[in-house]
């Protein structure tokens, strides 16, 4: 009886190399409050200085609504494209061996390490009418830089690693015996992928899609150079916020920022739900 009680107490209070629970919890709460909670709370406090009608006008103006359309619509489009092509890239990197594979695998992480402003300048130089790629599209009547199409390309660039890095580990850990069993039973490759592989990959794929979508909503540095920043044409929400700050309209800027913050919280909830669902399926 005494030994079982001692064992239960030992499991309840496991030894740790860190200080006690209360001390570490205090540091955790202090750091989160100083870095995350207080700054984000300041947005709502600043926006609350507006009257309800002024707040509504600040977040639903014609220019702001079009910026919402550009940011949300193009981010959704770019995340969808990255979901499709990112799955292919992750499949190739996890299932095949070929010369230069390590270099290609490292290039996937390049958008993580590259400063976003550098990426924006590089993309603009490539897709501008006189750029290496833009000069071939211009005679066809296709303008890439300084249009919504340029924004999509920038969002594709920054969002691809999120899809690849969430799907690739799942493909690497997938049980090959299930695929072989399906093929032995006469299933085609396409049916094997749709009914055997896709259900196990889908939660991680949706997680990568949501992360790429969230990154696209808040992206500024790589988009600002190639977008052209034309109001009601290629202006994104982060630029609207920056413009209002330059005009000393702090309350209006924080009001729009609060809308984006709420959208980010919703996306974060969806990402966590998808990750938990994927983890429960893997455990099952």
Rounded Cα–Cα distance for residues 26 and 232 (Å): 47
Residue 62 to residue 252: CA distance in whole angstroms:
14
3-class SS of residue 43: helix
How many whole angstroms from its chain centre is CA 176? 29
Count CB-CB contacts under 10 A for residue 74.
23
Domains and CATH numbers, the chain: 51-283 (1.10.3720.10)
Confidence at residue 90, expressed as pLDDT on a 0 to 100 scale = 93
pLDDT digits (tens, 9 = 90+) for 2-49: 555 455 544 445 556 666 778 888 888 899 888 888 888 888 888 888
Are 205 and 163 spatial neighbours (Cβ–Cβ below 8 Å)?
yes
pLDDT in tens, 61-104: 899 999 999 999 999 999 999 999 999 999 999 888 889 889 99
- pTM for this structure? 0.83
Q: Report residue 3 as tokens.
A: 């030994």
Q: Please name the residue that has the structure tokens 């909670």.
A: 37
Q: How far apart are CA 194 and CA 215, in angstroms?
A: 28
CB 146 within 8 A of CB 226: yes
Q: What is the pLDDT of residue 13?
A: 52
pLDDT of residue 127: 92
Supply the pLDDT for residue 85: 95
Find, among 269, 145, 153, 266, the residue nearest to 216 by Cα: 153
Q: Which of 115, 119, 86, 110 is nearest to 201 (CA)?
A: 86
């Amino acid at each position: 009886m005494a030994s079982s009680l001692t064992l239960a107490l030992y499991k309840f209070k496991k030894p740790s190399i860190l200080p006690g629970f209360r001390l570490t919890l205090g540091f955790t709460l202090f750091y989160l409050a100083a870095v995350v909670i207080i700054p984000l709370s300041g947005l709502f406090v600043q926006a609350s200085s507006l009257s309800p009608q002024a707040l509504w006008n600040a977040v639903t103006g014609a220019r702001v609504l079009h910026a919402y359309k550009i940011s949300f619509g193009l981010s959704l489009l770019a995340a969808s494209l990255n979901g499709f092509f990112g799955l292919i890239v992750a499949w190739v990197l996890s299932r095949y061996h070929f010369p230069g594979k390590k270099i290609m695998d490292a290039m996937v992480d390049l958008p993580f390490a590259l400063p976003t402003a550098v990426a924006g300048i590089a993309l603009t130089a490539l897709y501008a009418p006189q750029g290496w790629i833009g000069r071939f599209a211009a005679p066809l009547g296709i303008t890439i830089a300084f249009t919504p199409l340029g924004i999509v390309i920038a969002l594709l660039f920054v969002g691809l690693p999120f899809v690849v890095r969430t799907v690739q580990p799942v493909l690497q850990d997938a049980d090959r015996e299930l695929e072989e069993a399906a093929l032995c039973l006469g299933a085609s490759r396409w049916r094997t992928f749709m009914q055997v592989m896709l259900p196990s990959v889908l939660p991680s794929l949706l997680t990568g899609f949501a992360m790429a979508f969230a990154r696209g909503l808040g992206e500024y540095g790589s988009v600002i150079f190639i977008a052209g920043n034309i109001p009601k044409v290629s202006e994104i929400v982060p630029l609207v916020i920056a413009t209002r700050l330059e005009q000393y309209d702090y309350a209006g800027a924080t009001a729009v920022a609060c809308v984006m913050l709420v959208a980010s919280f919703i996306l974060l909830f969806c990402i966590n739900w998808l990750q938990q669902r994927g983890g429960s399926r893997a455990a099952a």
